[in-house]
Amino acid sequence: MRTPLACLLACLAALGAPADELVDRVVNHARAHPEGDAPASFRASDYRGDLRDLPIGVFDSGVGGLTVLEAIKAHDRHDNRTGAEGPDGIPDFQGERFIYLGDQANMPYGNYAAAGRTDFLRELILRDAVFLLGRRHLHGEKPPVKAVVIACNTATAYGLEDLRAAFKAWGLPVILVGVVEAGAKGLQETAKGAQGGVAVMATVGTCASEAYPRAISKVTDRPVRQLGSATLAAAIEGDPSVKASVRDIIRADVGDFLKAAAASAPDRPFDTVVLGCTHYPLVAEEIHAAFAHWRDHRASDGSRPYERLVAPTLRQVDPAAWTAEALWRSLQGANLMATKPSSAGDLFYLSVPNPAWPGVGLAADGSLSYEYKYGRQPSQVGREDTLNVPMTPEKLPGATAKLVREKLPLTWRSLQSAR
């Protein structure tokens, strides 16, 4: 039988309560540098005044989170004068300024869990948020932020509760929004009678965390099955180490997913796919096509083994759009929308390896080597083996720049004027 203490600890764990050493270490490190003049720290006094005209911070493990920034910039679900529900032709965040961080040097975040380095990932996530809160970057100063949007599904899965605890410990009135809870809310609000199975496509790490099934079970009892891909996000970013094409990876992943689902004989077909990774909205059509392909697929005996598993109409839920709405509701609720349109442009940052850091392991192309990246342990909160530098279109790999240019026009325009 469980002792009362064991029950309490189990309850705290189930709530994701992160009152632990790792969060404390980051909290104390920042507290020890209240002027924000050390790595991984921020100026405490920045958060004592009126925050309304500060920018909104958005971070991801890489550039995939730009899909979330685009969704926020394009969001128009309210009348900007009254706040009433209903688009007015003016983006809801029109007057706001954004600061984006892509921790590209340390990605994929989706692989830390499989490498047994979840705690290191949690430290990275806390440091990403502290970067947004602070003023330091490699080549100068940036403004602090009034909100932090975790655009990364994996980072939300492993870091949202830690960040909540850290913000509380610091007494920060800063809004915090994570993409997973917003995605579950989106699933609920767009269901419109859909009661079939829900397929959540995400990284292997996000799937291992069970964050989506947990969040979805709070809003619906529809069956959920996860499809974790180890290579799709990297392939979408044009990672040269992934040889298969995006289309082939999706087709194979969806095929494996349906094969496994068929073996467990689900009672309802899948009628909804949650795009639970930042990169997947960029290939939404290919994902749709893959499900349609397998639905119509004929086996050698002429049967269609997956027909009953995939509903004829398949909806997609893009958590990015719902993150925008969650952000809007939080800022409105806290009376933190900008009081005047920002005259300054958005700012973008990207992490790069720091070859001068003692013991850093680099691959031939200058990126962190796999062994080094996934071999690190938490504890050095102020480590600077990677540095955050301004992101410009020229710093993006060719394939990524093309995707952003073609699929994320508002972000591309803003990125072009950022320096």
Residues belonging to the active site: 152, 277
As a whole number of angstroms, the distance between CA 163 and CA 239 comes to 30
Residue 62 CB, nearest approach to ligand DGL (Å): 6
Residue 231 CB, nearest approach to ligand DGL (Å): 10
Task: Decide: is 278 part of the binding site for ligand DGL (CB under 6 A).
Answer: yes
Residue 283 CB, nearest approach to ligand DGL (Å): 13
As a whole number of angstroms, the distance between CA 132 and CA 172 comes to 13
Task: Decide: is 105 part of the binding site for ligand DGL (CB under 6 A).
Answer: no
Task: Decide: is 64 part of the binding site for ligand DGL (CB under 6 A).
Answer: yes
Please pick, from the candidates 26, 182, 184, 233, the single residue that binds ligand DGL as defined by CB under 6 A.
Answer: 233
Nearest to 281 by CA among 332, 250, 317: 317
CB 284 within 8 A of CB 292: no
Q: For residue 141, what are the β-bridge partners? A: 136
CB 117 within 8 A of CB 208: no
Please pick, from the candidates 18, 39, 55, 110, the single residue that binds ligand DGL as defined by CB under 6 A.
Answer: 110
Nearest to 201 by CA among 150, 265, 238, 250: 250
**What Cα–Cα distance (Å) separates residue 52 from each residue in 57, 83, 147, 345?**
13, 16, 10, 16
Nearest to 155 by CA among 110, 199, 214: 110
Q: Spell out the residues 6+ positions from residue 406 whose beta carbon is closer than 8 angstroms to its own.
A: none
Please pick, from the candidates 206, 226, 272, 351, the single residue that binds ligand DGL as defined by CB under 6 A.
Answer: 206
| Closer of 278 and 388 to ligand DGL (Cβ) | 278
The interface region with ligand DGL, picked from 39-47, 102-110, 124-132, 349-357 by CB under 6 A, is: 102-110
Residues 138-157 that bind ligand DGL (CB under 6 A): 152-154
Nearest to 388 by CA among 93, 103, 90, 117: 103
Task: Decide: is 60 part of the binding site for ligand DGL (CB under 6 A).
Answer: yes
Residue 37 CB, nearest approach to ligand DGL (Å): 30
Task: Decide: is 159 part of the binding site for ligand DGL (CB under 6 A).
Answer: no
Task: Decide: is 272 part of the binding site for ligand DGL (CB under 6 A).
Answer: no
**Residue with nearest beta carbon to ligand DGL:** 110
Task: Decide: is 203 part of the binding site for ligand DGL (CB under 6 A).
Answer: yes
The interface region with ligand DGL, picked from 18-26, 36-44, 72-80, 101-109 by CB under 6 A, is: 101-109
CB 278 within 8 A of CB 65: yes
| Closer of 105 and 130 to ligand DGL (Cβ) | 105
What is the H or E stretch that residue 176 is in? Answer: strand 175-178
Please pick, from the candidates 109, 167, 270, 328, the single residue that binds ligand DGL as defined by CB under 6 A.
Answer: 109
CB 141 within 8 A of CB 135: yes
Please pick, from the candidates 46, 56, 61, 185, the single residue that binds ligand DGL as defined by CB under 6 A.
Answer: 61
Maximum Cα–Cα distance for the chain, whole Å? 71
Q: How far apart are the first and last CA of the chain?
A: 61
Nearest to 192 by CA among 76, 266, 272: 272
Task: Decide: is 323 part of the binding site for ligand DGL (CB under 6 A).
Answer: no
What is the H or E stretch that residue 316 is in? Answer: strand 310-317
| Closer of 165 and 201 to ligand DGL (Cβ) | 201
Q: What are the tokens at 418?
A: 């950022």
As a whole number of angstroms, the distance between CA 194 and CA 216 comes to 14
Nearest to 236 by CA among 91, 108, 340: 108
The interface region with ligand DGL, picked from 59-67, 282-290, 318-326, 364-372 by CB under 6 A, is: 59-67
| Closer of 54 and 107 to ligand DGL (Cβ) | 107
Residue 46 CB, nearest approach to ligand DGL (Å): 27
Nearest to 322 by CA among 275, 287, 271: 275
Binding residues with ligand DGL: total (CB under 6 A): 17
Please pick, from the candidates 132, 207, 277, 283, the single residue that binds ligand DGL as defined by CB under 6 A.
Answer: 277
Task: Decide: is 391 part of the binding site for ligand DGL (CB under 6 A).
Answer: no
Task: Decide: is 72 part of the binding site for ligand DGL (CB under 6 A).
Answer: no
| Closer of 41 and 209 to ligand DGL (Cβ) | 209
Q: Please report, as ranges, the residues that interact with ligand DGL according to CB under 6 A.
A: 60-62, 64, 107-110, 152-154, 203, 206, 233, 277-279
